[in-house]
Amino acid sequence: MMGLCGCLIYRTHLTRTSWRVLFAVCGLIQCGFSSMQLMLVSRDNERVGLSDFWFALGDDAATALVEGLQTLPFAAMLITMCPRLQEGSSFALFTTFINLSGPMSRVCGVMVSNIWDCSNRAMEMQDFTGLWNVVAVTTVLSLLSLSLVQYLPKSSEESMIMHTMGQQSEFHAQLFIAVFGASMLVVVLDTLYELG
């Protein structure tokens, strides 16, 4: 529901906003909510009168709203990146890549949480050091993604101009395929490991 609200807010109030600004602000907001997990870990949410349930619900709702704000410009970018007469295949590849990000982030999260002690035993002993470190690392990683915003088109008009001019980058295409293939391999190997 909040994602739909985000789409409506974008459609009614933000269509003239630069995509770079929109994605940068949304990234900062998401980073802020990611770092708020530290409040949950340290129980500061209860000190300000918010139960774990309401804190987590508000966090999820805000994250869904921000993701909704990004949905329409992101879809517009994907559509203009699809080569003529190959729109279906290209769009399927892009959406598969997006859907692959969930399992890949889970694998990376497990790897990062294995660096520090985030076990139930550590939590029961009130040792939140490992969890603090994991939240700090994930927050910093989300900040790093903001450095890529400069490569986005500024608007749908600029995206269409780039598409009609045939601006393509063989390097970026190869990088996309390499990241896609490596992510798929990691997720498949992790799944086989979990099953075996």
How many CB atoms within 10 Å of residue 118?
Answer: 21
**Measured between alpha carbons, how far is 172 from 176 in angstroms, rounded to an integer?**
6
**What pLDDT, in 10s, does the model give residues 108-162?**
888 888 888 888 888 788 888 888 888 888 888 888 888 888 888 888 788 777 7
| Whether residue 51 has pLDDT greater than 80 | yes
Per-residue pLDDT tens over the stretch 60-114? 888 889 988 988 888 887 777 777 787 788 778 888 888 888 888 888 888 888 8
Residue 168: band (very low, low, confident or very high) from pLDDT cuts 50, 70, 90: low
- Alpha-carbon distance 129 to 115, whole Å? 12
Residues 64, 100: Cα–Cα separation, whole Å: 18
**Which helix or strand (DSSP H or E) is residue 135 part of?**
helix 129-144
Measured between alpha carbons, how far is 129 from 139 in angstroms, rounded to an integer?
15
Q: 0.85 cut: is pTM over it?
A: no
Residue 169 pLDDT: 67
Confidence of residue 25 (pLDDT cuts 50, 70, 90): very high
Asked whether the predicted pLDDT for residue 55 surpasses 70, the reply is yes
Distances in Å between the Cα of 132 and the Cα atoms of 31, 59, 108, 140 are 15, 18, 16, 12
> What average pLDDT does range 5-30 have in this prediction?
89
pLDDT reading at 166 higher than 70? no
